[in-house]
Every structure is written in C-alpha cells, then in structure tokens.
C-alpha cells in the first residue's frame, strides 16, 4: 500500500504515510585523502568521520518496516554519494572540542548536501530533459508536466551554497550560521508548487514508460555511470527528500551549540521557521494528492457519490488490499470517507479507479481487528484469505453503523506491518471524523467556526516491487 502509499510527501514529514524509504546503510568512504595526505591529527579525523557518518545515517532515515532484513537489490531513492568526505578531511589540525568538531561536521554536511543537490538537478536538466526534448521522445508539454518547476530550484540552492561558503573562515570553520538560514529558508516556499506537481508528474511518467522510445532512453540513462544506477524519478524526488532534511540537520547543529554561542538565540527560530514551511508544503501536497485521486474515481452508481468524498481535503493513506474473495482492491482512506476501488485503465496521465461497493463515511465506521490465527470457518472469508490453511493473517474488518443498509468488508493486507499501519490510520481517521462531526454540531451557530486541519504525511506501505518517501512525504 502507498501513502497517502500508506504513499503526507505526504508526504514530507513523518513522515508518517502508511512511506517507503528504508534506512540507507552508511557507505564507506572511497576518499583517498588519508592515503595521499598523512593526517597529523588522527584522533580528530576519527572523531569527525564517526560524527559525519552518524549524521548521515540519521538524517537519511525514514520510517519503514523493520523486518524482514535482507540485502537490497533495488536502487535507493537517495543517490549513492560520490566520494564521501567529512569536515575533518579538510583540516590538518585544530584546537577544537569534540562537541565543536561535531558542530562543524553537521554544518559541513549541510553545505555538501547543497552542492550535491545542485549537481544532481543540473544533471537531470542536461541528460534527461534536454535530450528528450531535442530527440522528440516526449513533447514539451509532457516534459513540463513531469519536470515541473525543477529548473527554478537550482539557483535557489546555489544561493544557499554561496552564503554558506562565505561563512567559512580562514581556518575552515563556520561561526554563526543561524541568521543565514533564517534569511534563506523563506525561499523554500517555492517547494509548494514543485511538490504539489509531483503526484501528477509521477503518474504521467509511469504512463510514458510503457512507450518503447521512452523506456529505452530511460533504461540507457539508468545503466550509464552518471546516473549511479538510479532512475529518473529518484532524481526528481531529490528536492522533496532534501526539504525534509533541513529540520533534522538544524536539530543536530542545535544539539552541539554551546549555551553562550551567538547561534543559541537564532537556531530555535530558524528551526521553527523551517518546520512551519515543511508543514505548509506537506499540507498543500496532501491537498493536491487528494484532488488528483478524487478526479480518478469512476462511479458505477450515482449513490456512490457520497458528499464526504468531495469534502475531504487530504488522504490519510491508500494502497492495495484483498477482499474476502481474494480480489485485489485499491483502497483510499480520505479525510472523511473510506473508498474501495478496482483499478481500471489509465486515462489522461493517471489511473482510473472504479468505485467498488458503497463508500463508508469515517465517522460511521466500526473497525474490527482480526487476530492472526483466527479460524477461517464460516462463510465470511470463504477460504480466500487462508490459501487452503485453517488460519487467516493480516486481516481486519470495517463496517458501517447508524444506517439502514449496513455494509461490512473484510480486508487483508500484504503483511503485518501494512495491517498495523492501516489499523492506525483508520483509528485516527475515525476519531478525527467523529470529533469533527461533534464539534460542528456544537458550534453550527458560531460564525467563527473553523475546524483545524489535520494531516498525516507520507505513510508508505510499499510492496517489495514498488517504491514510494509518498511520504510523504
């Protein structure tokens, strides 16, 4: 399943979805610095490398199933970095405490991350966009939809890189970084447009991949050394991945900033600012995703067009489940309603989802978790969930209450993690919808009533054959 795959970019923060990026193993450095230039202070170098790797590990992690653990054969959604280098590789000696070394490593990680992002985005423009346009592999309109406003993000990040490099003194250390980030972070509001476009961009790109010329070109690019074995979408998703890293990096800088440091006053404000920007991008992206999939719904009966579908502003999650006949369904948990569908044909750059049975308003849902190992006897499961065994696994049941015609659906997730994410999202959606209904009833005469918007970002229940980090984001 995907958030919002249990695909809120979406999401963006957690990123909760049920998000689809696993923790990236820390790659060993291929740098020859230590061989070519003997380091005069090996202790300093070791501390710096350890800190840098620790930072990289934490900041590239996103929530995912912890099991089963196995070797990875698919490309990560983060490009494999070039020769890894940490701050201590750039200095021969320095009179710094371990805490200050850590601070310099995080700032250096921030700076290098900007440099690498600029290189990747420039590469995307040069080796993907321009050749496909020149060779007529896609039309200018199609490329515009897929790449969105990516081109405008390059000078934006180049600006931050320039500012950060100016902060680095003659001794290759950075003093005060808070004011620079405070002044630059508002530029990231440009991400609203880019990230909102990603849902439709991904759908169109997936559709175009079925065309021979497109598939052949993208395959050749992925097999080339410059791509580091990543596909086009991995590169297009880099800005979103970078955006959600800023709060994590700032927290790391804040942790190792002494109480008497000038940054002590500005970093909390900078962190609050970037978190609010990420939340806003996340909210807008969730709304765009909701509208995109809502437009893809095809109704078999007029009675299926319940008002809660159009009133919903975001998706908690969506993804594949099986019903009690073993049929594959694509289920959408909107803000106010649960909609079961059967995937149809692609149309206008996106999938069509045929609504299956009657949608269930979240406020009226009864949720029943079916324990693993429950006997499958009786007609409820019809043996479809059991595969000939006597036990069922990863199943739950949803039904409606308070209406003359009751609807009950038994559903099976791909695995226990996916089931738990669905259960969590459903419980959240039910509580939120009932609270919203009660609050609306109590304040229906108030001219100032404005319900708070709640959004879960980028939960992902990706299958082994499909990547998401949504979240998403």
Q: Which residues contact 462 (CB under 8 A, 6 or more apart)?
A: 1, 2, 5, 7, 20, 468
Residue 173: the pLDDT is 83
Residue with the two structure tokens 């940490």: 86
For 296-338, give the DSSP string. Answer: TEE-SSGGG--HHHHH---EEEEEEEE-TTS-EEEEEEESSEE
Where do runs of H (alpha helix) occur along 168-223? 178-184, 191-208, 212-223
**CATH homologous superfamily, domain 89-296:** Dbl homology (DH) domain (1.20.900.10)
Whole-structure pTM value: 0.70
Least trusted range by pLDDT, from 24-28, 263-267, 310-314, 435-439: 24-28
Q: pLDDT over 70 for what percent of the chain?
A: 67
Distance CA 155, CA 158 (A): 5
Distance CA 226, CA 57 (A): 24
Residue 290 or residue 467, greater confidence: 290
Backbone angles phi, psi at 153, to 5 degrees: -80, -20
pLDDT tens string 314-360:
999 999 999 988 899 999 999 999 999 998 876 655 679 999 999 99
Calculate helix-pair angle for 191-208, 140-147, nearest 10 degrees.
Answer: 130
Count of Cβ atoms closer than 10 Å to residue 364 Cβ = 20
Which of the listed CATH numbers 2.30.29.30, 1.10.1270.20, 2.60.40.180, 3.40.190.10 matches domain 300-441? 2.30.29.30
Residue 175 or residue 392, greater confidence: 175
For residue 396, the cross-strand partners are 369, 411
Count of Cβ atoms closer than 10 Å to residue 266 Cβ = 18
Domain limits, the chain: 89-296, 300-441
Distance CA 470, CA 368 (A): 27
Dihedral (CA of 57, 62, 67, 73) sign: negative
Residue 406: the pLDDT is 63
Q: What is the mean pLDDT of residues 285-308?
A: 93
CA-to-CA separations, 472 to 331, 365, 441, in angstroms, rounded: 17, 25, 32
Residue 279: the pLDDT is 95
- With cut-offs at 50, 70 and 90, classify the pLDDT of residue 172: confident
Distance CA 340, CA 332 (A): 6
For residue 328, the cross-strand partners are 322
Residue 59 or residue 301, greater confidence: 301
């Amino acid at each position: 399943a995907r958030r919002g795959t249990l695909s809120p970019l979406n999401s963006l923060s957690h990123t909760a979805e049920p998000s689809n990026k696993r923790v990236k193993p820390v790659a060993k450095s291929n740098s020859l610095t230590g061989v070519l230039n003997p380091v005069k202070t090996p202790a300093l170098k070791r501390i710096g490398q350890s800190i840098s790797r620790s930072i990289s590990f934490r900041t590239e992690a996103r929530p995912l199933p912890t099991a089963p653990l196995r070797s990875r054969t698919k490309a990560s959604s983060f490009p494999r970095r070039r020769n890894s280098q940490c701050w201590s590789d750039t200095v021969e000696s320095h009179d710094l405490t371990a805490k200050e070394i850590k601070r310099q490593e995080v700032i250096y990680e921030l700076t290098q991350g900007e440099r690498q992002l600029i290189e990747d985005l420039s590469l995307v423009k040069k080796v993907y966009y321009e050749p496909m346009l020149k060779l007529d592999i896609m039309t200018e309109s199609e490329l515009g939809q897929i790449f969105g406003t990516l081109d405008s993000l390059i000078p934006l990040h180049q600006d931050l890189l320039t500012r950060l490099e100016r902060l680095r003194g003659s001794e290759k250390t950075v003093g005060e970084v808070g004011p620079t980030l405070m002044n630059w972070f508002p530029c990231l509001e440009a991400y609203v447009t880019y990230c909102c476009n990603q849902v439709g961009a991904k759908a169109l790109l997936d559709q175009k991949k079925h065309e021979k010329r497109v598939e052949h070109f993208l395959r050749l690019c992925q097999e080339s050394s410059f791509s580091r074995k990543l596909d086009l979408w991995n590169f297009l998703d880099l800005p979103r991945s970078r955006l959600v890293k800023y709060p994590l990096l700032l927290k790391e800088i804040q942790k190792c900033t002494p109480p008497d440091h000038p940054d002590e006053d500005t970093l909390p404000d900078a962190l609050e600012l970037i978190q609010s920007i990420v939340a806003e991008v996340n909210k807008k992206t969730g709304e765009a995703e909701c509208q995109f999939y809502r437009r893809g719904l095809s109704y078999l009966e007029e009675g299926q067009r319940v008002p809660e579908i159009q009133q919903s502003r975001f998706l908690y999650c969506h993804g594949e489940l099986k019903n009690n006949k073993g049929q594959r369904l694509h289920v959408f948990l909107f803000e106010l309603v649960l909609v079961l569908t059967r995937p149809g044909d692609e149309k206008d750059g996106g999938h069509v989802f045929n609504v299956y049975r009657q949608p269930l308003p979240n406020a009226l849902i009864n949720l029943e978790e079916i324990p693993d190992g429950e006997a499958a006897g009786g007609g409820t499961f019809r043996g479809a969930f059991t595969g000939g065994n006597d036990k069922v696994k990863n199943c739950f049941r949803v039904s409606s209450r308070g209406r003359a015609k009751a609807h009950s659906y038994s559903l099976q997730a791909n695995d226990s993690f996916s089931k738990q994410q669905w259960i969590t999202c459903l419980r959240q959606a039910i509580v939120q919808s009932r609270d919203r209904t009660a609050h609306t009833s109590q304040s229906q005469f108030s001219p100032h009533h404005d319900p708070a918007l709640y959004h879960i970002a980028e939960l992902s229940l990706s299958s082994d054959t499909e990547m998401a980090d949504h979240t998403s984001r």
